[in-house]
């Protein structure tokens, strides 16, 4: 009877692995649209020119 209990451990681990793998490989098409929209917003923000006032070292009276 003890041997059967030890056999249940790998069988249970196999079942848990099968459930996890089916969950990990599920079809997630809905998330791509939001990710692409976020990337487009990021790209637009990087393309904008930001006016930063940096002092010109040539005109610095020292």
- The rounded distance, in Å, linking the Cα atoms of 13 and 6 is 12
Residue 19: the pLDDT is 97
Question: How crowded is residue 45: how many other Cβ atoms within 10 Å of its Cβ?
Answer: 9
Residue 51: the pLDDT is 61
Phi, psi of 54 (to 5 degrees): -105, 125
Residue 61: the pLDDT is 63
Number of H helices, E strands in the chain: 2, 0
- The rounded distance, in Å, linking the Cα atoms of 5 and 26 is 32
Residue 8: the pLDDT is 96
pLDDT tens per residue across all 62 residues of the chain: 888 989 999 999 999 999 999 999 887 666 677 788 889 999 999 988 766 666 666 666 66
**What's the pTM value of the predicted model, to 2 decimals?**
0.44
């Amino acid at each position: 009877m003890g041997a059967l209990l030890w056999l249940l451990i790998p069988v249970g681990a196999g079942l848990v692995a099968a459930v996890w793998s089916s969950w990990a490989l599920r079809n997630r098409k809905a998330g791509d649209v939001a990710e692409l929209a976020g990337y487009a917003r990021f790209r637009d923000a990087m393309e904008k020119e930001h006016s930063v006032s940096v002092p010109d070292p040539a005109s610095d009276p020292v």
